[in-house]
A and B are shown apart, each in its own frame.
Chain A
Amino acid sequence: MGSYVLRRLLQMIPVFIGSTFLIFVMVHALGDPVNALFGDRAPDPAVAAQIRAQYNLNDPLWKQYVLYMGRLFRWDFGTTFTGQTVTSQLAAAYPTTLKLTAVAFTIEVIFGIGLGLLSGLRRGRLADSSVLILTLVVISIPVFVTGYVLQYLVGVRWGVLPATVGFDVTLRSLILPGIVLASVSLAYVARLTRTTVAENSRADFVRTAVAKGLPRHRVVVNHLLRNSLIPVVTFLGTDLGALMGGALVTERIFNIHGVGYALYQGIVRQSTNTVVGFVTVLIIIFLLANLLVDLLYAVLDPRIRYA
């Protein structure tokens, strides 16, 4: 187990270097950041030259990357053109997004698995068909549509929950964006759970559990659900990263100043350091979430053992 974790952590290094380099290259491919900074106006050559020198923009790309990575290991993510440090941006944005992700993830787990279990146990009946149709609808409608419609109905028309979040992040205000962010993943989780539950409910070991005279809830929770959750956990793990990075649209709709919002600003302003910095942290979260999933596998399914 220990050596497996060590090996996986070592494998993360090339993945990390490769993906950050790709991001670095892609952001530079957007064009000259100094020109973008000045917008439509022509920059003062002296100022432009100074900025280029300050941010090592005259060096070849690989050298810029090496310098950037060197600073990164000293926990220095650089500064934006406006002088703000990326570290402070990260510190401002990530807690908000983490809260949003936590809310969305909780909704996704509880309702996704709950609906999937209900549907899988009543396969072919009304409850099953309703869940299938409902999830299909949710999957087919783009997030910005669900987002704006729910914001208008729940937040504005009926006034049940706050319509936007702003700077004052409360749990109550995060419920609506949480639902919107979770909706599509929730639908996938429900469908995945339904399939595995339906499959396992015919398994021999479930029949054994019934033959042992166990009460129904014990058969379902201890024997059926426990075995059905293995593929669902994989999906949830990878989705955790996707929720954090993919909150871009939701954060825009509900005016949440989180990672998605900061990334969007960074891309619009071609702030290399902001974009690369945020994505770097996202990559680390993604890799760790994946490792966690693989370790959870061994806990959930004892047939998988890591040497």
Chain B
Amino acid sequence: MSTSSTSAQPRAGRAGTGTGPLLEVRDLRVEFRTREGVAKAVNGVNYSVWAGETLAILGESGSGKSVSAQAVMGILDSPPGFVTDGQIVFKGRDLLTMGKEERRKVRGAQVAMIFQDALSALNPVHTVGAQLGEMFRVHHGTSRKEAREKAVELMQRVRIPAAKERVGDYPHQFSGGMRQRIMIAMALALQPDLIIADEPTTALDVTVQAQVMDLLAELQDEYHMGLILITHDLGVVADVADKIAVMYAGRIVETAPVHGLYAGPAHPYTEGLLQSIPRLDQKGLELYAIKGLPPNLLRIPPGCPFHPRCPRARTICREVDPPLFEVTDETGTPVPGRASACHFWKETLHGE
């Protein structure tokens, strides 16, 4: 299990106004106490996001990427979910030790979340205008009429055509892409410092995906927000992310600036993920797939959790859980922001 910090340096000219990162998650642990036993969903995760920066958290279903985001947001289903350890430091204050009411005021206003399925995430019985306006009414005490005007403005901001006429419509009357725009508008409403987007484009078709991602990137740039992008889609990540954290079995197995990761993965799991992207120049060949299934979180294998599926696994992998090693280039100088939780990261990265 790793405790080393995985924060990458902010890109030049994009550093936050404060001294530290906007959000820093330290050694976060989350478990689900179920009838079958305790499922350890997040096991000592560290990451940080600076203002204006995009962190992509990559991983398959059940890797703990959504759960860690829910813990940051404070919307974990509890019971059965519990944060058992760690700190979530947002603008210098630990969200986990904050009072309930204080934390509620952070939610939505300073940290906002975009959900995967906008149809079920929006309330079917309220108009989109009411749901958007609710943000202003609750957090700023705006009047009903003014909140409605602000809702129209927001809808125009995310480029929903005929916003004025559609503000009184219900979520089911919008198309999938438009609904996701409304979700984005809702998250943007109070101009938060940090937005967590939990698979924002998974439920959309490919052409709409690009539009929504572009919009999100553009708005992030304009408001200089931190963005955590949770996804399993490597294609989405490449375009918008600054740095990437790959999660497996509730821990971060590799972190890297975005281009470094695509150029040379330092963990066999990341390598497998990249190889399983369909490529045009390999038409007709069988698509690569990582063998086996993600581990059962009730019984995470000893040693490196990835070893049962790893083509490079040796004896040490079955016995010793690798910490996050600092990754160096061929000359031995450390690459900033790069780390890998693999005993054989050198072989993986530099090829052998």
Contact = CB atoms under 8 A, between A and B. Distances in A.
Interface of A: 202-205, 207-215, 218, 222-223, 226-227, 300-303
B124 A207 contact: no
Interface stretch (B9-17, B90-98, B111-119, B294-302): B111-119
A204 B115 contact: yes
A222 B138 CA distance: 12
Given A208-B122, A209-B123, A213-B108, 13 more contacts: A203-B120, A204-B121, A205-B121, A205-B122, A207-B75, A208-B115, A210-B107, A211-B112, A212-B112, A212-B134, A213-B109, A222-B126, A227-B123
How would you classify the secondary structure of chain A's contact residues: helix, strand, loop or mixed?
helix
A201 to B, nearest CB: 9
A112 to B, nearest CB: 21
Contacts of A204: 115, 117, 120-121
Nearest to A301: B125
Contacts of B327: none
A211 B75 contact: yes
Most buried by B among A202, A301, A302: A302
Nearest to B105: A213
A168 B109 CA distance: 59
A227 B108 CA distance: 22
A45 B138 CA distance: 82
B134 A211 contact: no
21 contacts: A202-B77, A204-B115, A204-B120, A205-B120, A208-B123, A210-B74, A210-B75, A211-B115, A212-B135, A212-B138, A213-B104, A213-B106, A213-B138, A214-B108, A214-B134, A215-B138, A222-B134, A223-B126, A227-B124, A300-B125, A302-B125
Given A212-B134, A215-B138, A218-B138, A226 B109 contact: no
Contacts of B122: 205, 208
B114 to A, nearest CB: 9
B139 interface: yes
The 5 A-B residue pairs with the shortest CB-CB distance, nearest first, are: A213-B108, A213-B107, A204-B120, A205-B123, A212-B108
A212 B120 CA distance: 15
A31 to B, nearest CB: 54
Interface string B166-207: 000010100000000000001000000000000000000000
Contacts of B138: 212-215, 218
A42 B109 CA distance: 88
B96 to A, nearest CB: 16
B192 to A, nearest CB: 10
